[in-house]
Amino acid sequence: MSSAGAVDLSVKIGAVRLRNPIFAASGTFGYGLEFAHLVDLNRLGGFVTKGLSREPIEGAPAPRLFPTASGMLNAVGLQNVGVRAFVAEKLPALRRFNTAVIANVFGYSLEDYVEVIRVLEDAEGLAGYELNISCPNVKKGGMQFGSDPSLVAEVVSAARQAAKRPLWVKLSPLVTDIGLIARAAEEAGADALTVANTYPAMAIDFRTGKSRLGNKTGGLSGPAIKPITLKLVWEARKAVKTPILGLGGIETVEDVLDYLAIGASAVQVGTASFADPRASEGLVETLTNVLFESKAFTLNEIRDKFLAEND
Ligand SMILES: Cc1cc2nc3c(=O)[nH]c(=O)nc-3n(C[C@H](O)[C@H](O)[C@H](O)COP(=O)(O)O)c2cc1C
């Protein structure tokens, strides 16, 4: 029997049953459709769309990406077609695929988040929502929703009331105590937590004194952030029972297993898709082979075999 037939990689994230624990991450996989000629979307656990807002957003001035040591800076400025165009133009084509499509949702006020979800609720073909709470709340002087437990509770409760579908909350890594934030999201009704977003950072050219990014500052991602994010997943894991999706710097199957070992139920792959659009699909294949070769036929068996208890 082939390894693919013998191994069961399926996982449950709340009420959602997934074929395997590998997702492509928001903002690095477009609306999925752009990748469909390169990647067999039906082999992924699923993917998270580019962040969707109430109105279309043109995004930040160029340059938007800059490579750094073991990572990448980006300041895309949350460019997207807007939630209505997504529903009208992208979602119908996505329904042809048998993969979990998670809509990433963001806004600059509670009303923005709720409105985006309200529009998506009327549409068929989504497995759930992922709230990006690393956004400034313009009504609260630009403070990030994700950096304050009471703002997290407010935005997650409002989204929870608007959403019938499963609700994942993607945490900001820029917090003093991720456990507090994770608990606030869980108590407000999150079905899963995604840990975490990029780290605010910058790069300059000393010759000109200018930033390497049009937006001056950006978000750091890629292998450079993996050890920092792994610790956040560990801390969040200790604080909540809600399933966690780990993401930050995943390139290899060892990275995937590290996140699963520390307590993530599934993972997402972001920056790695820039170098190799097939990175997430490749990881499904390698993870399958690793289990088969270890004579573990489910993720629970590999957990019992290899993955430590990290109390
Ligand atoms: C170019 C780019 C665009 C991104 N856009 C979004 C976005 O729209 N919404 C979001 O929640 N995260 C966004 N992210 C963050 C990623 O989903 C992910 O959290 C982060 O890059 C860390 O994972 P990685 O190290 O595997 O890339 C973006 C990241 C990159 C590199």
76 in contact with ligand 1, CB cutoff 6 A: yes
27 in contact with ligand 1, CB cutoff 6 A: yes
Angle in degrees, 0-180, between the axes of helices 226-239 and 178-187, rounded to the nearest 10? 50
The ligand 1 atom nearest the CA atom of 247: 23
Residue ranges of the domains in the chain? 3-305
Dihedral sign computed on CA atoms, order 71, 73, 77, 79 = negative
- What is the CATH number assigned to the segment(s) 3-305? 3.20.20.70
26 in contact with ligand 1, CB cutoff 6 A: yes
The tens-digit pLDDT sequence of the chain (311 residues) is: 567 778 999 999 999 999 999 999 999 999 999 999 999 999 999 999 999 999 999 999 999 999 999 999 999 999 999 999 999 999 999 999 999 999 999 999 999 999 999 999 999 999 999 999 999 888 888 889 999 999 999 999 999 999 999 999 999 999 999 999 999 999 999 999 999 999 999 999 999 999 999 999 999 999 999 999 999 999 999 999 999 999 999 999 999 999 999 999 999 999 999 999 999 999 999 999 999 999 989 998 888 777 766 66
The ligand 1 atom nearest the CA atom of 134: 11
pTM: 0.97
169 in contact with ligand 1, CB cutoff 6 A: no
Is 207 catalytic? The answer is no
- Ligand 1: residue of 34, 78, 213, 271 to mutate (most ligand atoms within 8 A of CB) is 271
